[in-house]
Structure 1
Amino acid sequence: MNKMRILLTLACLLGAIATQAQQLPLYSQYMNNELIINPAVSGTLDHSPLQMSFRNQWTGFNGSPTTYVLSYHKKQKDNVGLGAVLFNDNTGGAINRTGIALSYAYHIPLSNGKLSLSLAANINQYTFDSSELSPNDPDPLIDGSSESSFVPDATFGAYYYTDKFFAGFSVPNLIETPININTAVDNTNSLIRHYFLHTGYKLEVSDNLDLQPSLMLKSIVTTGVQYDLNLRALLKDKMWFGASYRDQDAVVLMYGINHKNYFFGYSYDATLSDIRNYSSGSHEVFLGYKLDVAEVIPQKKDSDGDGVPDEEDPCPDEKGTKENRGCPDTDGDSVIDKIDACPKSPGPAENQGCPVLTYEQKAVVDTAFTNLEFEFGKAIITFDSYTHLDRLGVMLVNNPNMNLTIEGHTDNIGSDEKNMELSEARATAVKTYLTSRDIPEASITVLFYGENRPIAPNDTEEGREKNRRVELTIGFN
């Protein structure tokens, strides 16, 4: 196993640094902490997660790679996120990378979600300690010395997210800073850009079950593209489990628990590559705590969905505004529809929300009423009445929010039945004339009462004349 440790360490040193292969550690549970692959995730959550993780890659022999991570990010303002990642990678005890990444993200509202753009400053300390290796044969690279190199760099990230969907792109090792280690083998050592593309969707299967499929594409120009296919199932936000397939590398099984503000996860990689002959797989575990969690206030019933709870809403089945305590006010006159006699026409509260007729409008109605006459005992309008009805018709056409109620009345001469028929016929005659002048039929209401509603005594001719009338009343929609 010591021989395997040496071979692995040399492979990592000569491969990752000298031949421009992958220089960053693998993670199986990055979907639970996307900050470690994309700084633009900073501030995208409704809480501030503090999370630590440990990964033991290819267990089963001494010196297998290990990775420690401590991360934190938070929403500083509505459009700003800050993040930090502390990390340590070690391979065989000989190759060590320690550092910190500090990220700033700016969130831009876009469509139904937000687009976060980020830049992270990375500070790395690379160390190669050949004293940790004991080769059977002499090797000029393994002379017992130790070399270190301070390597600053940067990561660019972009991340679009909604309640159910996300898509991110990041470029670690953006600057490709030189590494002054192992220059005896290759004096062009440097960090190499990595390209990560990750996306996923939350599918609500039921009230208790969500499915989260996701995809990761990883690329280095010299080694092509590797992909991860992931699927997680979340049960009541209390527990989750899932599986991943990493192209030509491993099948991953994972499991996690959420309890109050704590969250925990474990994964096991079953290795598919040739190294499985030496490895017992890979283990990864994380533990986190949610800070700055907003207090969850029990949601009150709101049947009409207007933002005013039913218990505070006088109109629980009609959508309204908060200013009106959840009641609608269609015409915007500050008199809610529930008590507005004219809900579609604005008017003052002292007039029950109805418009007030102008002096000229009242004069048109009064004149039409005063001059409305019929032939004796018949429902035929006299010729002199038409001019005044025409003016009333013009007013109604010019004010489509107006409506007209026509009431027919008679005196008590004759039978009740005949008087009822006459009052109906006269009111209908007025309606027929007005509708012939382009007044919508739906805006006219006809009522008739016969002799049942006198306004004067019927025992005098003067009183009976007053009772023989057709009243005209203007209303509003």
Structure 2
Amino acid sequence: MIKYILNTVISLFIVVPVFSQQLPQYSLYKLNDVIINPALISSKSYNQFSLMVRDQWSGFEGAPNTQSFSYYNVGHSEYGKGLSLFNDVSGPISILKGQISASKLLKTDFKHMLSIGASLSIHNYSFDNTQLVLEDDGLIDPVINTSLIDKSNGISANIGLSYFGEKFQIGASILNVANTKLTISETNDNSLVSHYYLSFDYKLMDNSSLKLTPGLLIKKIGASSIQFDANLMVDLNKSFFGGVTYRSSDAFITILGVNYQNYSIAYSYDFTFTEMNIPSYGSHAIVVNYRFKPKPKDKDKDGVFDFEDECPNTFGKIELKGCPDSDNDNIINKEDDCPFEYGTIENSGCPDKDNDGIVDKYDECDETPGLKRFNGCPDTDNDGVKDDEDDCPNEKGTIKNNGCPEIIGDDTTAFLKEEINRSNLILWAERIHFDYDKYNLDENSKIILVKIAEYLMIDRNFILHIIGHTDKNGSKRYNKKLSINRANEVYKFLIKQGVNKSRLKAYGVGKSQQISNKDNINRRVEFKIIN
């Protein structure tokens, strides 16, 4: 028999732990909310030390009494960390716990922020049987040893999630989501029960003189019923603050506090309206917080703090917001196409020694001003043949005559006197060439094609493939289209001369079949006879 009926206590805290209040009840959690959700560390803009003391159901012998000390740090741009110590005593039961926490900001496609958090606790759980006073009725209860203090060490883990913006916060957490078993009175099937929290806060008004923040906390402990806290916090001139909370089926809570420099001190009182109101004088709690801004970091030691440093991991220049400029051209490396060569802004940081608008790394003639279509090389006589391939660089000529002047009637007239047959038809195509980036036919080419058309209308026993080609300049896609246009131009001209189009097929192969190191020779068409 037990003088003070403690079977209820034992069953609540040991035999059926899912019904126990295994974590402290906090009325001032709004002033240190990371204790119920580790993810909230990343929502802070300051570091904080916090000391909290709570006396629950004051005046009732053996009622819960809790002390906690916590610290969190948000000095990193992505990660937050925290450390906490807890001591919770409820009659013969006490829990001493140390906890480390961490949080991380996650990138989202939204304008608001998302963070995750976790914490790991090492706790010492003890049951002091010496506090039990048994009636001496001559019977010995083997379960209870009044001279023994049962102790058990364990590990537990918490997780949390927070989605927040400048005016709101939505959080979810599970405390004791995983934990080791507790060995109490030689039984090892005891464990800490999981606590589930959902929190909502919204800054209804936020200015220098008045701030109103309503909130809601929904919680569930093990198999017990869902409980909620509906609260309203008020801040006056950033100096005084207070709040009221309605905790369902439990209490009405008032909070009063004051801010002074980096400190805040608050007191809460729970007006209990349950059966515990008769033997107790309500619940009291005090919290003292010290807040301070994290010291700015400069990981690359370049004199620019990380929050202002656009290249925080690389030593850079102060005037370039912490980014490096290896060639000292006042263009940061990541925006400089030539980061190790002094250049100009208009050339994206690259040099152009001959000032022809083509930067040196793309200029095949970087000492002499030239044309973009010839990759920076000059065409002095502007005949479409660049100087280093032009046999007459100071006289305007034709492409097929290697840049030298050509008079129709000399070479062309002599060539036209030759007879066309199948064996030499392919050679006639070699007389047809094109200007750079053009597909129109010049007069010499038209004269040649007239002669070819006459032959094709005499010998009708084969099909002629017309294949267009380009030089090496330009992209594959562009040159493919240009070569097709050149083949089509010959194809259409032959049809106009009376050749049946069913005997002709035109296509292009771009720059894939170069036959010379001279670009003007590669700008051509090719004939292929199909019997």
Map of 1:430 onto structure 2: none
Secondary structure in structure 2 of the residue aligned to 1:278: coil
In 2, Cα distance between equivalents of 1:11 and 1:62 = 15
Q: CA deviation at 1:16?
A: 3.2
**Which structure 1 residue ranges, 5 or more long, are not aligned?**
296-333, 335-477
Counterpart code for 2:51: M
Q: 1:95 aligns with which of 93, 107, 119?
A: 93
Counterparts in 2 of 1:48-59, with a 5 A limit? 48-59=47-58
Name the SS of the counterpart of 1:42 in structure 2.
helix
Distance 2:33 2:207 in 1: 26
Q: Deviations over 1:68-98 (max 9, x none)?
A: 0000101131110001111000012x21100
Unaligned 5+ segments in structure 2 are 297-344, 346-531
Classify 1:40/1:17 alpha carbon distance in 2 versus 1 (closer, same or farther; 3 Å).
Answer: farther
User: Residue 228 of structure 1 corresponds to which residue in structure 2?
Assistant: 229
Amino acid at match of 1:238: S
Using a 3 Å threshold, how does the CA distance of structure 1 residues 79 and 203 change in structure 2: closer, same or farther? same
SS, match of residue 188 in structure 1: strand
Matches within 5 A, 1:131-146: 131-136=130-135, 140-146=143-149
Cα distance in structure 2, aligned partners of 1:72 and 1:13 = 34
Would you identify which runs of 4 or more consecutive aligned residues in structure 1 move more than 6 Å? none
Q: Quick check: 1:171 aligned with 2:170? A: no
- What residue is the counterpart of 2:112 in the other structure? 113
What amino acid is aligned across from residue 237 of structure 1 in structure 2? K
- Report 1:356-395 matches (<5 A): none
Q: Any conservation in 1 of the 2:81–2:103 contact (CA below 8 Å)? A: yes
For 1:278-293, what aligned pairs fall within 5 Å after superposition?
Answer: 278-292=279-293
C-alpha change, 1:63 and 1:31, in structure 2 (3 Å) is same
The superposition leaves residues 377-404 of structure 1 with CA deviations (integer Å, 9 ceiling, x where unpaired) of xxxxxxxxxxxxxxxxxxxxxxxxxxxx
SS of the aligned residue for 2:288 comes to strand
C-alpha contact 2:154 2:179 (8 A) present in aligned 1: no
Deviations 1:82-117 (A, max 9, x none): 01111000012x211001110111111432321111
CA deviation vs aligned residue, 1:224-249 (integer Å, no higher than 9, x gap)? 21111111111111111111011101
* Alignment pair present for 1:18 and 2:15: yes
2:160 corresponds to 1:157 = yes
What is the RMSD computed on CA atoms of the aligned residues? 2.4
Q: Partners of 2:55 and 2:232 in 1: how far apart?
A: 22
Counterpart of 1:104 in structure 2 is 102
SS of residue paired to 1:141: coil
User: Displacement, 1:294?
Assistant: 7.2
* Alignment-derived partner of residue 28 in structure 2: 29
Structure-2 separation of matches of 1:183 and 1:224: 30
Change (3 A) 1:204 1:14: same
Q: What is the match of residue 411 of structure 2?
A: none
**Superposed displacement of residue 147, structure 1:** 0.9
SS at the partner of 1:131? helix
| Structure 1 pair 130–75 and aligned structure 2 pair: CA distance change class (3 A) | same
Paired position in structure 2 for 1:341: none
Change (3 A) 1:272 1:85: same
Amino acid aligned to 1:99: K
Aligned equivalents of 1:171, 1:162: Cα separation in 2: 22
Counterpart of 1:463? none
Q: Does 1:192 align with 2:189?
A: no
Q: State the 1:207 CA deviation.
A: 4.2
Answer yes or no: is the 8 Å Cα contact 1:258–1:264 preserved in 2: yes
Letter of the structure 1 residue corresponding to residue 26 of structure 2: Y
What is the SS of the residue equivalent to 2:226? strand
Counterparts of 1:25 and 1:243 in 2: how far apart (Å)? 20
Tell me: CA distance 1:123–1:31, structure 2 relative to 1, closer, same or farther (3 Å).
same
**2:258, 2:7 → 1: CA distance?**
38
Contact 2:75 2:295 in 1 (8 A): no
* Mapping for residues 429-440 of structure 1, pairs under 5 Å: none
| CA distance in 1: counterparts of 2:34 and 2:69, whole angstroms | 11
Q: Report how many residues are paired.
A: 290
Percent of paired sites with the same residue? 33
In structure 2, give the amino acid aligned to 1:157.
G
| Residue aligning to 1:330 | none
Q: For residues 294 and 79 of structure 2, what CA distance do their matches in structure 1 show?
A: 17
1:239–1:136 CA distance, 2 compared to 1 (3 A): farther
How far the C-alpha of 1:62 sits from its partner, in A, is: 2.6
1:221 Cα deviation from its structure 2 partner: 4.1
Using the alignment, how far apart are the partners of 1:289 and 1:270 within structure 2? Answer: 28
How far, CA to CA, are the matches of 2:55 and 2:7 in structure 1?
18
Q: In structure 2, what is the equivalent of residue 386 of structure 1? A: none
Matches within 5 A, 1:241-280: 241-280=242-281
Q: What SS does the corresponding residue of 2:182 show, helix, strand or coil? A: coil
Larger Rg: 2
User: C-alpha displacement at 1:183, in angstroms?
Assistant: 4.5
State the one-letter code of the partner of 1:169: A
Name the counterpart of 2:76: 77
Higher-strand-fraction structure: 1
Distance 2:257 2:28 in 1: 10
If the length of structure 1 is used for normalisation, what is the TM-score?
0.57
TM-score by structure 2 length? 0.52
Q: For 1:166-201, what per-residue CA distance to the aligned partner results, in whole angstroms no more than 9, with x for missing partners?
A: 0111111111421111346xx521122111111111
Amino acid at match of 1:233: V
Q: Secondary structure at the match of 1:23?
A: coil
Deviation, structure 1 residue 206: 5.4
